[in-house]
Structure 1
Amino acid sequence: MKIKLLVLSVFACCSFFNAEAQKLSKFGSSIEKKIGPKTIKVPYTDVISYLGYAEAGNEDEVVDGKKFYYIYIWIPAVAPELGVRMLSPVAKTKVKDAIESAAYTENKSSSDYFDTYITLERSTIFKAEDISEDAVKSATWTKLASNDDSSEMPKQPSGSSYNSLLRYESEVGSPTKALTAGLYRIGFTTYKTGEVKGTFLAEVAAPVKLPGVVMAKTIEDLKKGL
């Protein structure tokens, strides 16, 4: 009986961990504010969320032997900073007003997840009317920032801190690294060797309101939102 109770207790603890492990806190910027004895990161005021599902065969490109997937973002105004974070799996995480892809809708009950690795890239496309499949392929993409593991993110069901978060401050004096209006993309893959497979939540955020931001998995869907 004692052994049975012990097993049930362990199972209950694991279930509690899995239910709570993916609870997201507010997305804070790099701007710090002191409240009493604590110093906190001021939350981003503008956050766009995207729910997706990645699997072998729907990757966009192979880079240095890694299968990369892209989410495109049209940003219509200058931004002082952008934050990007990714969580896998989505599990019971509640996200308000998220863009839900068809792939996610079909696989939302999946328990698959992957060790996330994210990048933020800026293109040489600065006008919405210049966006097309061919233009995106021929554009020059500059990697602004990347992240593999972030202790600020919830742990994955394995207990490892393999979810990702990055913040990038605009370099105003640099033509290639300033956060101007234009086409950006979040690139993601897995740090480990193997396939990228599982549900994910990707969020892009700014410390100021940016009306007209569009986020989509494909250029075709992005253009529909412009």
Structure 2
Amino acid sequence: MKIRTTLLTFLLATSSAHAGFSLNSLMDDDGLPVLTSAKKTGIGFASVSVPYVNTVNYFGFIDDKSKPDAVVKGKDAYYLYIWIPAAIDELGVRMISPVGNLAEPEKEDFVQANYGQKVKSDKETWFDTWIRVERMDIVSPDNIKMASKVINILEKDDDSDDTYDEQRHAKYNSLVRIETDLSRPDKALVRGLYRVVFTTYKKGKVEGSFIATLGSNVPGIKIASTLKELNELVNE
């Protein structure tokens, strides 16, 4: 999913006329809040954050049949695996819960098995998202299934989403923007395998629908809930 040029033109025109303009009221082509990068365009008070060139969505649902992948801070946690096909200058990761009526999966989106059936019967249940983004020890797509080791933790967040004025609950959505650092190999966003660990922070247990959105400057990013599924997406 790409942000259209007309949207960028609109942002520039609006920022010139209204200092302090917020992107929270703008939606991308799927009806979701626009995911913006750390980069800004414009001058001074008229500057605005620039949307990522490419975004990828994953629609998921956690219920009592979902087996946790780990325990973090004493709570069940789950994984999303990400394949990034080329070096990038920045990676944005946002998680919103619940999906509710915000969006429906599009053809190019990644969707958990049985998501449609589950969300149809329960659109309101949500969890207070907490995410941690990790880089794993795989740089070749042929070795995705062999992944077992986390090289380092890139970033984590509880409720810093500044792209969506959440009215359904107390703004408990998560967002990180990770910029590459070529002078530090452990912080460089190179081609390879990454993982998002997610759980709940303040509210109960992980249950309900969520949408994870990834933002970058390259196409071809894939996301799945298992290494087997990701391997099939990338290599088959």
Contact 2:58 2:109 in 1 (8 A): yes
Note closer, same or farther for the CA distance 1:72–1:105 as it changes in structure 2 (3 Å cut): same
Alignment partner of 1:112 is 2:125: yes
Query: Which of 136, 145, 164 in structure 1 is aligned with 2:147?
Result: 136
Query: Which of 70, 85, 94 in structure 2 is aligned with 1:61?
Result: 70
AA partner of residue 225 (structure 1): L
Note closer, same or farther for the CA distance 1:144–1:193 as it changes in structure 2 (3 Å cut): same
What percent identity do the matched residue pairs reach? 37
Structure 1 residue runs without a partner (length 5+): 1-19
Note closer, same or farther for the CA distance 1:127–1:156 as it changes in structure 2 (3 Å cut): farther
Aligned CA RMSD, in angstroms, stands at 2.1
AA partner of residue 172 (structure 1): L
| TM-aligned CA deviation for residue 213 of structure 1 | 1.8
Contact 1:49 1:204 in 2 (8 A): yes
The count of corresponding residues between Structure 1 and Structure 2 is 200
Note closer, same or farther for the CA distance 1:186–1:151 as it changes in structure 2 (3 Å cut): closer
Alignment partner of 1:28 is 2:36: yes
Cα distance in 2, alignment partners of residues 64 and 87 from structure 1: 20
Note closer, same or farther for the CA distance 1:38–1:119 as it changes in structure 2 (3 Å cut): same
1:60-79, aligned counterparts within 5 Å? 60-79=69-88
Q: After the TM superposition, list the runs of 4 or more consecutive aligned residues in structure 1 that deviate by more than 4 angstroms.
A: none
| TM-aligned CA deviation for residue 203 of structure 1 | 0.7
CA shift digits 1:45-74 (9 cap, x unpaired): 110000000134421111231211111011
TM-score, normalization by structure 1: 0.81
Note closer, same or farther for the CA distance 1:193–1:155 as it changes in structure 2 (3 Å cut): closer
Cα distance in 2, alignment partners of residues 118 and 173 from structure 1: 25
Cα distance in 2, alignment partners of residues 156 and 118 from structure 1: 21
| TM-aligned CA deviation for residue 126 of structure 1 | 0.9
Cα distance in 1, alignment partners of residues 186 and 161 from structure 2: 29
Which residue pairs with 1:42 in the alignment? Answer: 50
